Chain A
Amino acid sequence: MPKDSGIGASPKRREDVRFLTGDGRYTDDINVAGQAYVHFLRSDVAHARIAGIDTSQAEGMPGVVRIFTGADFEAVGGIPCGWQITDRHGEVMQEPKHPVLAHGKVRHVGDPICAVVADTLAQARDAAEAIVLDLEELPAVIDMKEAVKDGATKVHDDLTGNLCYDWGFVEENRDAVDEAIKSAAHVTTLELVNNRLIANPMEPRVAVGQWEKGTGDYTLYTTSQNPHVIRLLMGAFVLGIPEHKLRVVAPDVGGGFGTKIFHYAEEAFCTFAAKECRRPVKWTSSRSEAFMSDAHGRDHVTKIELALDAENNFTAVRTETYANMGAYLSTFAPSVPTWLHGTLMAGNYRTPLIYVNVKAVFTNTVPVDAYRGAGRPEATFQLERVIDKAARELGVDPIELRRQNFITEFPYATPVAVEYDTGDYHATMDKLIEIADVAGFEARAEESRARGKLRGFGVNSYIEACGIAPSNLVGQLGARAGLYESATVRVNATGGLVVMTGSHSHGQGHETSFPQVVADMIGIPDDMIEIVHGDTANTPMGMGTYGSRSLAVGGSAIVRATEKIIAKAKKIAAHIMEASDQDIELKDGKFTVAGTDKELAWGDVTLAAYVPHNYPLAEMEPGLEETAFYDPNNFTYPSGAYACEVEVDPETGKVTIERFAAADDFGNVVNPMIVEGQVHGGIAQGVGQALLENCAYDENGQLISASYMDYAMPRADDLPMFTVDHSCQTPCTHNPLGVKGCGEAGAIASPPTVVNAVCDALQRAGKNVTHIDMPLSPARVWAAMQGAEPTMGAAQPAAGSAGSAEGRSLHGQG
Chain B
Amino acid sequence: MYAFDLERPTTLADAIAALKGEDAQALGGGQTLIPTLKQRLAMPAKLVSLAGVDEIKGICRNDAGRLCVGGGTTHGEIAAQSDYPALAALAGRIGDPAVRNRGTIGGSVANNDPSACYPAACLASGATIVTDRGEYAADDFFQGMFTTSLAEGEIVTEVRFPIPEAANYQKFAQPASRFPLVGVFVARFADGVRVAVTGASEGGVFRWSEAETALSSDFSVGALEGLSASAEGLITDLHGSADYRAHLIKVLTGRAVTAAA
Contact = CB atoms under 8 A, between A and B. Distances in A.
Interface in A689-748: 691-692, 694, 696, 704-705, 708-713, 715
Interface stretch (B54-62, B154-162, B233-241): B233-241
Nearest to B244: A779
A708 B172 CA distance: 17
A710 B240 CA distance: 12
Contact of A652 (B178, B239, B243, B248): B248
A711 B175 CA distance: 8
B115 to A, nearest CB: 10
A718 B149 CA distance: 38
B82 interface: no
Contacts of B177: 708-710
Contacts of B166: none
B244 A811 contact: no
Interface in A750-803: 777-779, 782-783, 791-793
A652 B244 CA distance: 9
Nearest to B172: A652
Interface in A70-126: 122, 125-126
B223 interface: no
B176 A711 contact: yes
B62 to A, nearest CB: 37
Given A710-B177, A711-B176, A779 B1 contact: no
Given A122-B3, A810-B236, A811-B236, A777 B175 contact: yes
Given A710-B177, A782-B247, A813-B236, A288 B241 contact: no
A622 interface: no
Nearest to A692: B175
A651 interface: yes
A793 B181 CA distance: 16
B241 A813 contact: yes
Q: Say whether chain B's binding surface is mostly helix, strand, loop, or mixed.
A: loop
B175 A651 contact: no
Given A651-B251, A813-B241, A778 B175 contact: yes
A814 interface: yes
Contacts of A694: 238
B251 A791 contact: no
Contacts of B238: 694, 696, 704-705, 710, 792-793, 810
Interface in B221-243: 236-243
A255 to B, nearest CB: 19
Contact of B176 (A705, A782, A810, A813): A705
Given A652-B248, A652-B251, A779 B176 contact: no
Contacts of A782: 244, 247
B71 to A, nearest CB: 25
Contacts of B176: 692, 705, 708-713
Interface residues on A, range: 20 to 34
A487 B196 CA distance: 65
Given A122-B1, A288-B39, A710-B176, A813 B248 contact: no
Contacts of B1: 122
A813 B242 contact: yes
Nearest to A814: B241
A739 B69 CA distance: 62
Interface residues of B, number: 23
Nearest to B237: A810
Contact of A792 (B2, B236, B247): B236
A222 B147 CA distance: 45
A779 B240 contact: yes
Nearest to A715: B178
Of A705, A711, A777, which is in contact with the most chain B CB atoms at under 10 Å from its CB?
Answer: A777
A125 B38 CA distance: 11
Contacts of A126: 2
Nearest to A704: B238
Given A782-B247, A810-B236, A792 B241 contact: yes
Contacts of B3: 122
Contacts of B248: 652
Nearest to A288: B39
Contacts of A713: 176
B235 to A, nearest CB: 10
A691 B244 CA distance: 17
Of B39, B40, B241, B243, which is in contact with the most chain A CB atoms at under 10 Å from its CB?
Answer: B241
A270 B240 CA distance: 42
Nearest to B247: A782
A704 B178 CA distance: 17
A288 B40 CA distance: 13
Nearest to B248: A652
Contact of B243 (A692, A708, A813): A813
Contacts of B243: 813-814
A793 B239 CA distance: 8
Contacts of A129: 40
A783 B246 CA distance: 13
B172 A791 contact: no
A712 B236 contact: no
B111 to A, nearest CB: 15
Contact of A791 (B2, B181, B241): B241
A259 B2 CA distance: 31
A324 B236 CA distance: 26
B129 to A, nearest CB: 26
Interface in A560-605: none
Of A705, A791, A810, which is in contact with the most chain B CB atoms at under 10 Å from its CB?
Answer: A791
Contacts of B39: 288
Contacts of A791: 240-241, 244
B252 to A, nearest CB: 8
Interface string B13-44: 00000000000000000000000000110000
A507 B1 CA distance: 32
Given A652-B172, A792-B236, A810-B236, A125 B241 contact: no
A812 B39 CA distance: 28
9 contacts: A288-B39, A652-B251, A692-B175, A709-B177, A715-B178, A778-B244, A782-B244, A810-B238, A814-B241
List the 6 closest A-B pairs by CB distance, nearest first. Answer: A712-B176, A779-B240, A712-B175, A793-B238, A709-B177, A651-B251
Interface of B: 1-3, 39-40, 172, 175-178, 181, 236-244, 247-248, 251
Given A712-B175, A791-B240, 13 more contacts: A122-B1, A288-B39, A705-B176, A710-B176, A778-B172, A779-B244, A782-B244, A793-B239, A810-B236, A810-B237, A812-B241, A814-B241, A814-B243
